[in-house]
C-alpha cells in the first residue's frame, strides 16, 4: 500500500488503515521515541499514544505543509519530550527501587563493583565543597541540571561548567 492510499483510508477512519499505519511506521517511530526515552516500557507506551494522536488528529495534517512522515515523526518527538518533562516520569526516574542495585553487592571482588559499593562518594569527598554539592545533587539525588541550578541559586550555565570541571577532577582521582 502506498502512503497516499493509506492517507485516504485514514481520513475515512477505515479500521484496516490503523493496522497498515502501524505496520508501516512503528519501527521508525519507536526508534525515535526510544532514543529520547531510553526506557523500553515507557517508549512502548509513548508509541501507542503517538498512534492514537496520529489517528485522532489526521485532519490537522495538510500535504501542502510537509510530508506525512515528517508530521508523524514530529508527533513522536514532541510526545516523547512531553513524557520526559512530565512530573510523574521524572519522579519515577528519581525513586528507583533498591532491587535495581542489589546486584552491585553480590560480587564484591570486581573493581567496578567495589567502587560502587564502597562508594564513589569517598572519592567525591576529596573534591572541592562546591563540586561535592553539585555532584551530590546531579548524581546521587537525581536532580536535572536545571533543578540543581534552581536549588543552588546559580545560573544553569555555571552548573554545567562546574559539573564538567568537577567530573574532570574526579577522573583525575580515579585515574580514568
pLDDT digits (tens, 9 = 90+) for 147-174: 889 989 999 999 999 989 988 887 887 7
Summarised one tens digit per residue, pLDDT across range 136-153 is: 888 777 778 888 899 899
Sign of CA dihedral 146, 152, 156, 157: negative
pTM score over 0.85? no
Sequence-distant (6+) residues with CB within 8 A of 30 are 43, 44, 47
Summarised one tens digit per residue, pLDDT across range 57-99 is: 999 998 888 899 989 999 999 999 888 888 666 666 665 555 5
Q: At what angle do helices 156-174 and 145-152 cross, to 10 degrees?
A: 110
Amino acid at each position: 500500500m502506498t502512503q497516499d492510499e493509506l492517507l485516504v483510508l485514514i481520513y475515512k477512519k477505515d479500521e484496516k488503515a490503523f493496522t497498515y499505519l502501524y505496520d508501516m511506521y512503528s519501527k521508525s517511530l519507536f526508534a525515535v521515541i526510544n532514543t529520547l526515552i531510553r526506557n523500553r516500557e515507557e517508549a512502548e507506551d509513548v508509541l501507542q499514544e503517538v498512534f492514537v494522536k496520529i489517528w485522532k488528529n489526521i485532519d490537522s495534517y495538510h500535504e501542502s505543509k510537509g510530508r506525512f512522515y515528517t508530521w508523524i515523526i514530529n508527533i513522536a518527538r514532541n510526545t516523547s519530550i512531553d513524557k520526559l518533562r512530565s512530573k510523574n516520569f521524572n519522579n519515577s526516574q528519581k525513586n528507583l527501587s533498591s532491587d535495581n542495585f542489589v546486584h552491585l553487592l553480590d560480587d564484591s571482588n570486581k573493581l567496578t563493583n567495589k567502587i560502587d559499593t564502597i562508594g564513589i562518594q569517598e572519592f567525591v569527598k576529596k573534591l572541592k565543597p562546591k563540586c561535592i554539592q553539585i555532584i551530590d545533587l546531579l548524581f546521587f539525588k537525581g536532580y536535572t541540571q536545571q533543578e540543581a541550578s534552581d536549588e543552588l541559586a546559580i545560573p544553569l550555565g555555571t552548573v554545567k561548567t562546574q559539573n564538567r570541571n568537577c567530573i574532570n577532577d574526579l577522573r583525575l582521582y580515579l585515574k580514568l
